[in-house]
Amino acid sequence: MDVQRNYYGRLCTELYEILHEKAPQDELNFYLSYARKGQCILEALCGSGRFFVPFLEKGFEVKGVDNSPEMLDKLRQKAPCADVRLADMERYHPDERFDYVFISSGSVSLFTDMQQCRHILRTVYDLLKDGGKFVFAVDTIANRCEDDEDYKLSVSVKTEENHDLVLKTKNRYDEHTQTLFSPGVYELYDGGKLLRREYMDFQTHLYRLGEMEAMLQNVGFSSIAVYSSFEKELAVDNNSEFFLYECNR
């Protein structure tokens, strides 16, 4: 059984597109608030483009990078001329430097190896121009949940072909590493006939307030602000389901 950690394969991408075709408006507005015309902007981990495409449509000079060809194929269907590259963040070394880099939807939490996460932060730091801004989100320990012994039906949707696409998941939280393990099984059915099955080893690191700030400072980022809402309310405790970071090179 071939299982890749935090990789958005064919069925995962199809389900994601059905459930999350458009970016939440408040979150989109948050990332747009930092963008200025004439800037060179990068969306890292751009996925299928639900944030990327609105940036393009508003006339911003934006580029993207992601490691899932399935997700980038969806993005290119929406924006055939999009300047996006298939690459892992650790291996993304373009010639240009950026005024603004953002990573949406808590995707930084997918880097559960803290050494790898620090390397990603350093990569972003090096991609920025002096004075450039990095804005991103992480999930927090407020997302802890009870452990599941068995897989449970999480969601079921109809595809354009009128097939049934279902996701079964279970959760386990490791308090020591602050890692939420959420393995999933994606299944595509035509009536009662199983057409395709994919497994996903989904893991996220759940942050405490102060944890990410220390890593950002160690990398060299300055003027770090931490918000608990898209209205930019300052975070004061671990009760928010996400933290939003705004920092400068």
- Report the C-alpha gap between 49 and 22 in whole angstroms: 9
Q: What average pLDDT does the segment 144-151 reach?
A: 92
Q: Residue 140 pLDDT more than 70?
A: yes
pLDDT class of 185 with cuts at 50, 70, 90: very high
Q: Residue 7 pLDDT more than 80?
A: no
- Report the C-alpha gap between 127 and 93 in whole angstroms: 8
Q: Residue 3 pLDDT more than 90?
A: no
Q: Residue 6 pLDDT more than 70?
A: no
- Report the C-alpha gap between 139 and 116 in whole angstroms: 17
pLDDT in tens, 21-31: 899 999 999 99
Question: Which pLDDT does position 195 carry in this prediction?
Answer: 97
- At 23, the amino acid letter reads A
**Average per-residue pLDDT in the chain?**
94
Structure tokens at 116: 């790898």
Q: What average pLDDT does the segment 129-148 reach?
A: 96
pLDDT in tens, 82-115: 999 999 998 999 999 999 999 999 999 999 999 9
Q: Does domain 4-141+206-248 have CATH number 3.40.50.150?
A: yes
